[in-house]
Structure 1
């Protein structure tokens, strides 16, 4: 890999405080989505600390008194765009305000995965022996004929090519070749100034070439290139599969972040009424006085029906860990499900629910249309699985997403203890 000329510019200092690291991370991630959107000819909108862009929304800081209105403005902007598209909402500070999830769920956002942010001080990154792979810096993104490279879509090539042209020293791609075949790729996003760092995005290795050190070689090459440019630090979001790779290179955990999902149906559905939003926010906050006030003005079905984001009020109470709100809803006649009771810590209620409503054990729901037993298997929750199997289960039920039975889920997730449990139960 050829060296790049190092421009004279300021970057984040060598020993930043944790707060300064998070600020640098926040600005780098925002810059990445802003640059991608502009390279694709899209627009950006900002309200307070909230930014809306193509496919991504970021929240870098919040004013507790205005965050709801800022989110409303961003949602109106997304609704006005044609065609409307889904987006991921990132919170880019260590810990969000306690009611941020409640405000997002009330407006039709859905739960999403937690990013694992990792940080590398380039004074200490691990340089191994020269890589056996040919790693090249790409100046003008071509359309590659590769079908199984994660985080790569040939349709994005023109946007990435425009990104490279707009930021030639700040947004390079690194590509790994093995016998002239593409086997891996990652991208760097370099921000300069007092918060300047490098962000590593889009890491992917084709399945047939994994466990050969390609991901490690790419991460090392990316760190070396960032260092040549002048950066002192690199940040990334690690998948569970990638975390051990990055630790070998010298990355350390900063902690887990927060994301939510903004589905298309939220943008195309009627805008929820002010009363409904206030009610759902109160559910997520555990604000019983507001539940009493707003609940009287809502139709009874609003207490049970899912929002456009797919969550019922009881789901929101569970997600936000508000047992008082859950109790209020149950007292209004909302049925309590097995998983809701379990997740609220009401384990003592499970036997009663199974006795009074044995049909609940086979009830399918959620994004995957899965049974409680399948969800227990996905979580690796042996205790819950044992409890659910104290009553007859229909082990032939298949979920809607993967068309697999409980035993299929147990094998897929390699839950050996649950596999043995299911075999004993079946026999």
Structure 2
């Protein structure tokens, strides 16, 4: 199941890059994506120092300040060390049946909305709106949900409180991914995280997915566990800062 997590994460990074005018390519056994998360090396089965160096040179040529590498725990990271990468944060995979997580037909949190465009981002975050282009692709493979502190029916102004994505590329095992889920600190402990998770999982289930996987932060693990996700394995990230 961990291999399926890695496949879905790679497909998500590739789809975001392509939707936003970026690029994904293979260099021998290495898969690179250049998208809104910067330049990333996605779950190689083995590493070759010369191939990693080519990726670093590509990042320099593209003006990318950060290069990430996502690894399974069994992959020897020596080539990354030789190229100046530092060990980063762990990847904690969790999985759940969508039948257990998705909201029932009549069980809707009216503070959560599925959207294909938004005006919620401005200032230094304005570029995030561009990423919703992925939610408008046909056939739809990604769903974006926004959380608000009050429902649309409220007579008081709503406040943008968080977001989440789900992604399902129709893979053979029916596995969707949950990504970039966050509730802003001042709005936590109000059930918005649960509402976001159930909403994006419901959208993926309607598209045909049967399971969901995600990479949990320390803060998120308790919420995901309460909603039916269980730990299934780990990985590790490595990072190279070029500035």
If the TM-score is normalised by the length of the shorter chain, which range does it land in? 0.7 to 0.9
Q: State the 1:196 CA deviation.
A: 4.1
Question: Contact conserved, 1:116 with 1:255, CA < 8 A, in 2?
Answer: yes
User: Counterpart of 1:106?
Assistant: 82
| Match among 40, 46, 62 for residue 57 of structure 1 | 40
SS at match of 1:143: coil
Question: What is the CA–CA distance in structure 2 between the aligned matches of 1:49 and 1:196, rounded to whole Å?
Answer: 25
Describe the shift of the 1:32–1:237 C-alpha distance in structure 2 as closer, same or farther (beyond 3 A).
same
SS at match of 1:115: strand
Question: Which residues in structure 2 correspond to 1:308-323 (within 5 Å)?
Answer: none
Which protein, 1 or 2, shows the higher relative CO under an 8 Å CA cutoff with sep ≥ 6? 2
Question: Which residues in structure 2 correspond to 1:369-380 (within 5 Å)?
Answer: none
SS at match of 2:219: coil
User: Counterpart of 2:207?
Assistant: 229
Question: What is the CA–CA distance in structure 1 between the aligned matches of 2:218 and 2:46, rounded to whole Å?
Answer: 33
Question: What is the CA–CA distance in structure 2 between the aligned matches of 1:174 and 1:168, rounded to whole Å?
Answer: 18
TM-score normalized with structure 2 length: 0.85
Question: Contact conserved, 1:163 with 1:171, CA < 8 A, in 2?
Answer: yes
Kindly report the root-mean-square deviation, in angstroms, between the aligned alpha carbons of the 2 structures.
Answer: 2.4
| Match among 203, 217, 221 for residue 181 of structure 2 | 203
Structure 1 residue 26 corresponds to structure 2 residue 9:
no
Structure that is richer in strand per residue: 2
Question: What is the CA–CA distance in structure 2 between the aligned matches of 1:262 and 1:254, rounded to whole Å?
Answer: 28
Q: What count of residue pairs does the alignment treat as equivalent? A: 232
Question: Which residues in structure 2 correspond to 1:214-253 (within 5 Å)?
Answer: 214-253=192-231
Question: Contact conserved, 2:59 with 2:67, CA < 8 A, in 1?
Answer: no
Question: Contact conserved, 1:49 with 1:60, CA < 8 A, in 2?
Answer: no
Unaligned runs of 5+ in 1: 1-20, 266-427
Greater Cα shift, 200-209 or 72-81: 72-81
TM-score normalized with structure 1 length: 0.50
SS at match of 2:23: coil
The list of structure 1 runs, each at least 4 consecutive aligned residues, that deviate by more than 4 angstroms after superposition, is: 126-129
Question: Which residues in structure 2 correspond to 1:251-270 (within 5 Å)?
Answer: 251-265=229-243
| Match among 142, 148, 155 for residue 171 of structure 1 | 142
Question: What is the CA–CA distance in structure 2 between the aligned matches of 1:51 and 1:174, rounded to whole Å?
Answer: 29
Cα-to-partner distance string for 1:292-321 (whole Å, 9 max, x where unaligned): xxxxxxxxxxxxxxxxxxxxxxxxxxxxxx
Structure that is richer in helix per residue: 1
Structure 1 residue 77 corresponds to structure 2 residue 58:
yes
Describe the shift of the 1:143–1:262 C-alpha distance in structure 2 as closer, same or farther (beyond 3 A).
farther
Question: What is the CA–CA distance in structure 1 between the aligned matches of 2:173 and 2:235, rounded to whole Å?
Answer: 19
Q: State the 1:219 CA deviation.
A: 1.0
Question: What is the CA–CA distance in structure 2 between the aligned matches of 1:59 and 1:155, rounded to whole Å?
Answer: 24
User: Counterpart of 2:129?
Assistant: 157
